[in-house]
Structure 1
Amino acid sequence: MDESGTIDVGIDLGTTNSAVVLVEDGTPTVIKNNDGWDTTPSAVWLPKPGVIHVGRRARERVESDPANAAAEFKLEMGLADAKRTFARAGVELTPRQLSAEVLKSLRNDVRHHTGTAPEVAVITVPAAFTLNQNKDTAEAAALAGFHPACPLVQEPTAAAFAYGFSDATERAYWMVFDFGGGTFDAAVVSKRDGDLRVLNHAGDSYLGGKLIDWALIERVLAPAVARELGIAEFRRDNPAQRANFAKLKHAAEEAKIQLSRRDEIEIMVDLTGPGGGTEPFEYLLRRDELDRVAEPFYVRAINLCRNALADAALRPEDIDRLLLVGGVTLSPGLRERLADPAEGLGIELDTSLDPTTVVARGAAIFAGTVRRPARRTAASAPGEFTAELVYEPSVTTTTPTVGGRLHSSSTVDWTGYSVVLSNPGGRPPFRSARIPLSAGGAFLTEVDLDPGRTSRFTIELTDATGTRRELTPGTLSITHREVEFGGVRLAHSLGIQLDDRAFAPMLRKGATLPARVREVFRTSRALNRSDDESVIRIPVVQGERSRGDRNREVGMLEIRPRDVRIDLPAGSEVEVTFEVDTSSLVTVVADVPLVQAQFEAEIDLDNVRTAEVGVLRERLSEVETRLEGLRAMARGAEVEDARRRLERLDGESAVTTARDQVGAASVDAGAAAAAEERLRDLQAELDDIEEAVELPVLTDQLGDAVNDAVALARQSGLPGHLEEAEDLRRRADEAVSSKDSGRVRAELERIGQFVIGLERRSPDWPVRLFYTLQEMLPASGQVTALVAEGRTAIAANNVPALEAVNQRLIRLLPQEEQQKVIGVVRG
């Protein structure tokens, strides 16, 4: 395995099951575990101190011994407060540590197959994974004994590799539909003239088969158990029922799998009854019953696919094949829905590869294109030589270039030294001419490859006397492929949250990685060195929502008084640089030129915690109240877009799912994380619905405002004012046509500023400002005295005295209101 020079090992670290695949002679081979299975259950069992079981035996114990076994911990990756307790072993393990145990097991399977444990592997992550989840995955690999630089690749991208690295002549668009045990991902893929490129991603880190299992339990099985066995308080969040729900979860998962091949299945589980004894529970579950429970989750997955297509400016009819990935896609009900153009996508389904191992296959194929991390091996003694080689391990040309520079621990006159590259096993065999080294010990040459195969070359070094010398490494391998990968893509937009809560994306979703970008912003407030409490905070966020606080905060840039040599005035330049590597790990730096200082963002991915259950309940209540209000508003207005969005939420049972997750949050850290994410998404969706509901009202207000502006401009008698007013009318018409409430609001504000500018020129402006300020201020002795003084000034037509009263009234306003009024007064 070490001879190839490439990583060659791909691992799908799944929520329910994991798999490892090794590329041998250019062909991916699924490595079976000790049970002879292609997949290993992602489960861990600690029966006593110092003993750890991973896989099938551990998965069985999740049902029978839940206090000492754990599964489905992938959904808790990246959460600092997520831990699983193992009673008999007396330890707590984090999801990262549990994932490391699964990775160790897979690594040992490769060791058993090849005789050597791999040092590095390509490990897959959901495209919807956040930065902290990716970081936890990388650290789990290091804990498992892998090289710290294990590349991460997104699961739908890996699936595309598995399907796509053949037939370079095919020109097509594909969509990957990856519905696994814990996550859902969709990817739009283009294959053109040997170039395989992921165009767009969409996904949900908490949409998977696990949700279907729990929905089946909570909507069907648990009510039946409570009714038939007479168990009171039979709820998932009741600690006394933990063992019973563990058994139901296992039974639900097995029944779901069986119903992919049968129309009905008899569920039989021995549960603990009200008196403490064992009582049998039986239930005949039909496939159509399961499909009804699963329907909202199918609908959400399909809607995410439609979003991904729309973002890529494509329609379902533009897609040639829908590549099915993940165990949930074995469901006949889901396949029927997907094939339906009205209810699903209407795209031809491709089931030619095993959906449970296709991601690992693709990861291994990608691993075959990535060089192993370099091991700098300096020559240990005089007369020994090492080579620093430069070449691409996977190419689409049959005549690639290979270069290198030789090193020695002693001074060497490279004059007369030469190398020869040979591949005696080539078809035909290949042997280069003698290639003299440069004075610096470097060489460069072309080699011939066998099409569609891996070619292995030996590097022969001879000195000036013609004597063969040993060289490390003395071999290299290059694989010729018909298809070239177009690069890893950024799954979420990255940027900063501005002072007005707006999101300023700097790297857009879909950017090819690695990527680096720099933009200049200006501070909205001053930073005074004398004020220890003064601080400029710039949140670093990821997501696609226009409001920064509706996205996920992943870090914070902070500039404090102690960090600067002089006071920073408002409006100071801040140069922000984002850098993202191919594994989506991020560095953010801010430069402040005025003080010649640089600040690195605190990307604290080790302290991401789940919200407390009480907080989640409050957020759920807020969402439910807000949703009902918007439903009422939508019923009485011509707002088709708002009604369509509300129907989509209903079709996905979005609020019901969030309610279920909040209910389980006290006993399941993964459910708490899912609830937090779902509620954030719901609030953002309700923002959009609110905008759609308000659009007709805003449109009417804009029409009235532009008419008033034109009338005032005519009254002014100045041609320039009328011309500006007519330009405002044109802009207002464009905003209305766009049906974008943000643009309509912006034009309302623009017109308001124009009208205020005209009114300020009016002789009675100080009087109108006085009465406006009087309405804005609450009654007090000071306000009453100033109002009396102002009225006296008006009666005496004393404009300077009235303006002085207005200035004193402005100073009584709250600081934020003061700034707004001062801006109006000064224009």
Structure 2
Amino acid sequence: MRDTIDFGIDLGTTNSALAVAGDDDVRILKNNDDQSDITPSAVWLPKADTVWVGRRARHRAETDPENVAIEFKLEMGLADASRTFGKAGVTLSAPQLSAEVLKTLRADAARYAGAAPDSVVITVPAAFALNQNKATLEAARLAGFTGSVPLLQEPTAAAFAYGFDDADERAYWMVFDFGGGTFDAAVVSKRDGDLRVLNHAGDPYLGGKLIDWAVVERLLAPAAARDLGLKDFRRDNPIWRGNFGRLKQAAEQAKIQLSGRDRTDLLLELVVDGSEETFEFTLTKDALDAVAMPYWARAVNLCREALVESGLGASKIDRLLMVGGATLAPGLRELLSDPAHGLQIELDTRIDPTTVVARGAAIFAGTMRRPASESVVRAVGEYGVELAYEPSSTTTRPTVAGRLSGPSGEVDWSGHSVVIANPEGRPPFRTGRVTVNRVGAFATEVELDEHRTSRFTTELYDGNGAPLPLAGGSFGITHREVEFGGARLTHSLGIALADHKFSPLVRKGTAVPTRVREIFRTSHAFNRSDPSAMVRIPVVQGERARADRNRQVGMLQIRPVDIRIDLPAGTEVEVTFEVDESNLVTVVADVPLIQAQFEAEIDLDDVLTPDADVLADELAEVERRIAEAQRTAATSPEVEQRLARLQEEGTLATAREQVRAASADAGAAVTAEERLREVQAQLDDIDEAAQRPAKERELREVLAEAEELVERVGRPTDRAELADLRTRAQDAIDRKDIRSIERETEQVVSFLIGLERRQPGFVIRLFNQLALDTSSMRPAAEARRLIAAGRSAAARGDEAGLMVICQQLVRLLPQSEQNTVVGLVRS
């Protein structure tokens, strides 16, 4: 009976792998299909009640594409995404397809262990969202894993695989995980036996699949259309679906072949008018590298971002850990080693990049105790024991505690004792008699053999030293040189507010598990007679200030099903977010008014595939914004630099290709959405960069006015406040943070207004300046009415009433003009 989970699965976009932790090592389990270390994540249903998974299914993607599903990991978490298998007459969702892969791997584990495991560690990309993680757990449940299924981030798993040796080594590493469908970068610290992930960056839709499709779209498809005279030869044209499937397979195989040569000849049959035509194409390494370079460049830039966020330069990183089959590409390794364009970090390729994540998952699984299942079956007269210990330890003398239970009823434990022994130890180990306290509890240290698993048994003795029958009591503890420093949140998690701003509740990098509380107020009344009453708050993940530039991953729904009274609008609801080690979220809501607590629900089941027409409209909007930005680039080096990065990473070209394919491929649709969201966010930054010089000038101008006015009429307290404002303003300018610059401008303007209000005639001067030009005030009729009322108040000498009118007039001005009011007063 295993004490720990031990089995780890890398559930990949292109390939999956299974590993198991033993007493002294970790091994990759070969599959039952072709005795390979990896199993292609492919499912083929040639007829009803027949399912093939793995290499055989992958090969059928060329000859029977209508009945084969591949690369469905990218559709995880989409409620409406599915694949239909015509011959079998069934439709399967991405979690159901992933479950078929997991079933195969679980059967391989059963062949090794003699019984199918009910618990397993499954890896997920660090960039996965909540709904994608939930879909992964659903796939595990469908596959028969009914026990504990911890989710482990892929770069963390890779760090485990590389890091559980050389405990004395003190180093910083960077994980470079370029897989079939996703990219993750992680900065890892290894210090005194503690392995800790410091920071993540990644893209859940950047991987080898995009490079394959780019080769098809930019090289193979145009050549095939030209050579064979194919009309409307597009990926989204359903009549050519089979041919594009064959081209995709050919591109993938050619990419693998070019890992060891400079050119490869493609020869494949394409179906034209019902008959097969031969298509030939020579693909060179240089041509492949040219297509792949933008995707590699994006990965490199994400690594640089992770380093900046960690406060580390590349010179501080000792090794770059290569993970994922795509990292076998010579061109990528050449780029990473390039002193000008790469990361300038030594590449570490000691472990097979296609299986390293599975190895790390198994190592982690070996540190996780199996959940307590049914109690050990006891024979009549047998005693029982419940043990508490860590299954993995970095010390050779860990503590083990336990509590005994009698055969039936209460037991007088006076004089009882236990002995814990490891007869197979090196040397054999045996405690002395450990006294049991009055409630049957005990604790003692045990000795471990270094670098292996020590197996112990527990013996029970009565007050006279006679042995008593004890059920259970056997356990194992593995000595390891390194321990995991804990998981961290890879995305900020929060809600979208009514003004479209993002309100983060838990920040990226927070150690998990964690718990946070926030107070919300209901926007409308809750009536018990209205069963549909509900608070709905979008839950989003990301780092952008605008909520719609982040990913919506669910809907927080608070249903007042247990309220005893009607609740008025504005009622306080205290919401507690809990994030576990797998980055999964649960929510509890308290209503203090009625002292009631009820479960709130994050609905992760309404995240849908983006609509192709909506994506096309957004692409047009993005292209319009880029054209505008290009017109300002000549006058702004920063704008020019940011546009150059968009070009370098090929973000817009990828977006165009994925938008074109969106109607035929749900994976392409979500990739397009992610790319467009990223471009929009970068264009927001470009807009801010273009506006910032003017904003900085405005801040400096109002500061100069404030300094001049303080010099004339200021008090000592005014001078101190101005010095503080000057320091904060310079900090905002140095940080190039336009939001802070605008905030500081408002603070200086408020300070100026306060000074001006102390000067005689301020209200009259303010009104006269506002009355000079009302052309930008809206609505114009209201401005005219206020001007007339102001003249009457001035004639009466009513300065208080005139100030109220001035405030109303200022609010009619555009926001960009409101901050200049003080300047107008003093000019």
TM-score exceeds 0.5 = yes
The alignment's TM-score, normalised by the length of structure 2, stands at 0.91
Judged with a 3 Å threshold, the aligned counterparts in structure 2 of structure 1 residues 603 and 802 are, in CA distance, closer, same or farther, namely same
Match of 1:752 in 2: 749
Q: Which moved more, 1:483-492 or 1:550-559?
A: 550-559
For 1:602-621, list aligned pairs within 5 A.
602-621=601-620
Q: Which amino acid aligns with 1:351?
A: T
1:184 alignment partner in structure 2: 183
What are the within-5 Å matches in structure 2 for residues 357-756 of structure 1?
357-377=355-375, 382-408=380-406, 410-413=408-411, 414-463=413-462, 468-498=467-497, 500-518=499-517, 520=518, 538-557=537-556, 567=568, 575-591=574-590, 593=592, 596=595, 598=597, 600-637=599-636, 640-713=637-710, 720-721=717-718, 724-725=721-722, 727-756=724-753
Q: 1:801 to 1:193 in 2, by over 3 A?
A: closer
SS at match of 1:763: helix
CA distance in 1, matches of 2:84, 2:533: 43
Rounded to whole Å, the distance in 1 between the matches of 2:401 and 2:422 is 16
The amino acid that maps onto 2:28 is: V
Report how many residues are paired. 809
Q: Secondary structure at the match of 2:332?
A: helix
Alignment deviations for residues 595-645 of structure 1 (CA, whole Å, 9 cap, x no partner): 6455654311121112211111121111111122122112123xx333222
Structure 1 residues 198 and 426, CA, compared in 2 at 3 Å: closer, same or farther? same
CA change 1:599–1:698 in 2 (3 A) is farther
The answer as to whether partners of 1:554 and 1:603 remain within 8 angstroms in 2 is: no
SS in 1 for 2:289: helix
The match for 2:350 is 352
Among the aligned pairs, what percent are the same residue? 58
- Provide Cα deviations, 1:108-154, integer angstroms capped at 9, x if missing partner: 01111222111211111111111111111111111111134211111
For 2:228 and 2:792, the matched residues in 1 are separated by: 84
- Pair 384,721 (structure 1): closer, same or farther in 2 beyond 3 Å: same
Q: Hey, what does 1:824 align to over in structure 2?
A: none
Greater Cα shift, 751-760 or 692-701? 751-760
Amino acid aligned to 1:248: L
Alignment-mate amino acid for residue 400 of structure 1: P
**In 2 relative to 1, CA 487–254 (structure 1 residues): closer, same or farther, beyond 3 Å?**
same
Q: 1:65 aligned to 2:72? A: no
Q: Distance in 1 between matches of 2:751 and 2:537?
A: 32
Q: SS of the residue aligned with 2:602?
A: coil
AA matched with 1:277: S
Name the residue aligned to 2:824: none
Give the whole-Å Cα distance in 2 for the aligned partners of 1:726 and 1:151.
Answer: 54
User: Which residue of the partner structure matches residue 141 of structure 1?
Assistant: 140
Higher alpha-carbon deviation: 554-563 or 57-66: 554-563
The verdict on how the C-alpha distance between 1:585 and 1:798 changes in structure 2, with shifts beyond 3 A counting, is: closer
Counterpart Cα distance in 1 of 2:463 and 2:406? 15
How many Å separate the matches in 1 of 2:785 and 2:420? Answer: 97
Instruction: Supply the distance in 1 between the matched residues of 2:167 and 2:697 (Cα, whole angstroms).
Output: 56
Q: Evaluate the alpha carbon distance shift between residue 541 and residue 600 of structure 1 in structure 2; reply closer, same or farther with a 3 A threshold.
A: farther
In 1, the alpha carbon distance for the partners of 2:140 and 2:18 equals: 13
Match of 2:309 in 1: 311
Contact 1:182/1:208 (<8 A) preserved: yes
Distance (Å, rounded) in 2 between the aligned partners of 1:140 and 1:426: 40
CA distance in 2, matches of 1:713, 1:574: 47
Helix, strand or coil for the counterpart of 1:699?
helix
Q: Does 401-410 or 372-381 show the bigger shift?
A: 372-381
Displacement of 1:715 in angstroms is 6.3
Q: Counterparts of 2:588 and 2:342 in 1: how far apart (Å)?
A: 44
Q: 1:560 to 1:779 in 2, by over 3 A?
A: farther
Unpaired runs of 5+ residues, structure 1, are 821-827
- 1:481-512 superposed Cα distances (whole Å, 9 cap, x missing partner): 11122122221122334555443433322222
Q: Which runs of 5+ in 2 are unaligned?
A: 820-827
By how many angstroms is 1:732 displaced?
2.5
Deviation at 1:703, TM superposition (A): 1.7
Task: Give distance in 2, aligned partners of 1:79 and 1:487.
Answer: 29
When the two chains are superposed, the root-mean-square deviation of aligned CA atoms in Å is 3.2
Instruction: Specify the code of the residue in structure 2 equivalent to 1:306.
Output: R
Q: Letter of the aligned partner of 1:219 in structure 2?
A: R
Separation of aligned partners in 2, 1:676 and 1:509? 22
Measured against aligned partners, the alpha-carbon deviations of 1:724-774 in whole angstroms (never above 9, x if no partner) come to 445434432333233222221111111222334445562314555667878
Cα distance in 1, alignment partners of residues 83 and 438 from structure 2 = 60
Q: Is contact 1:528-1:561 (8 Å) kept?
A: no
Distance in structure 2 (CA, Å) of the matches to 1:760 and 1:558: 48
SS in 1 for 2:601: coil
> Is the 8 Å Cα contact of residues 557 and 603 (structure 2) preserved in structure 1?
no
Query: How far 1:161 moved relative to its partner?
Result: 0.9
Contact 2:376 2:471 in 1 (8 A): no
Question: Separation in 2 of the partners of 1:320 and 1:810?
Answer: 58
CA distance in 1, matches of 2:126, 2:804: 61
Work out which of the residue numbers 5, 16, 30 in structure 2 matches 1:18: 16
**Equivalent position amino acid for 1:667 in 2:** A
1:46 aligns to 2:45 (yes or no): yes
Query: What is the alpha-carbon distance in structure 1 between the residues aligned to residue 131 and residue 211 of structure 2?
Result: 26
Deviation at 1:594, TM superposition (A): 5.5
The answer to whether the 8 Å contact 1:543/1:552 transfers is: yes
C-alpha separation between the residues in 2 aligned to 1:481 and 1:808? Answer: 71
Aligned partner of 1:6 in structure 2 is 4
The one-letter code of the counterpart of 1:236 is: R
